[in-house]
Amino acid sequence: MRLILIVLFLLLFFIISIPLFLIELIIGLFSRRAQVASSQQIVVMAFHVVLFLAGAKRTVIGRENVPRDEPVLYIGNHRSYFDIPIAYVSLPTLTGFMAKKEIGRIPFLRTWMRFLQCLFLDRDDIRQGMKTILQAIEQVKAGYSFFISPEGTRNQGKDMLPFKEGSFKVAEKTGCAIIPVALSNTDDIFENHVPWVRSTKVIIEFGKPIYPNQLDKEQRKHLGSYVQNIIKEMLDKNAGL
């Protein structure tokens, strides 16, 4: 029943999106940043409805750790389709997401994502993947935060998949802070009992900012593992909650 309600709401939202796209395009003629902010507010409201219909009870920890006066690179684990809605309604900054290129083929969704400064990654083409990372670097330089899940895909096992080091180039090349993000129990909303959507308690925790240039040589050399271990510690800590 919950899944049906979510699907019906998304269909309604996509229909309503048609006139909203026109409004956002007009806003973009005057200010790209205002367009991003307006689009993010609309999408966040839609995600709040999706999470309400799913019965997801969200606990947010450490939001005060995120700097508000500078763009950051959010690095999070990935276990569920619901990770993005949960993360997006919890973010305090204008933020684009890195998504697989297949998402860019979905009508309406891809338009909203482009308004939101999201980028589409070709995981099978290293050259195109690097171009996408370079685009993310430019967006951070322009003042927008970015969210990447370095595992590269949803993880179905107990342990996180190895983090792809290329994701961290965004912070290394811009000097922005890395914010570790630990998402707990999100796969129990849907993935653990497909096709049913069930009411679930989830936790999202934002860790303290990490500035790569303040780390020692060994930590910078294995930055992906260093951040992953911090996220693992947060996941382990929150498992009992």
**What is the SS3 assignment for 227?**
helix
Q: How far apart are CA 77 and CA 79, in angstroms?
A: 7
Written as one letter, the residue type at 138 is E
Burial (0-12, 13-18, 19+ Cβ within 10 Å), 218: exposed
The mean pLDDT of 21-46, rounded to a whole number, is: 97
Domain that holds residue 114: 2-238
pLDDT at 39: 97
Contact 64, 241 (CB under 8 A): no
Number of compact structural domains in the chain: 1
The CATH number assigned to the domain holding 7 equals 3.40.1130
pLDDT digits (tens, 9 = 90+) for 132-189: 999 999 999 999 999 999 998 888 777 898 998 888 999 999 999 999 999 999 999 9
At a CB cut-off of 8 Å and minimum separation 6, what does 177 contact?
67, 70, 72, 73, 171, 209, 210, 211
CA-closest candidate to residue 142, choices 180, 104, 105, 174: 174
Model pTM score: 0.94
pLDDT at 7: 95
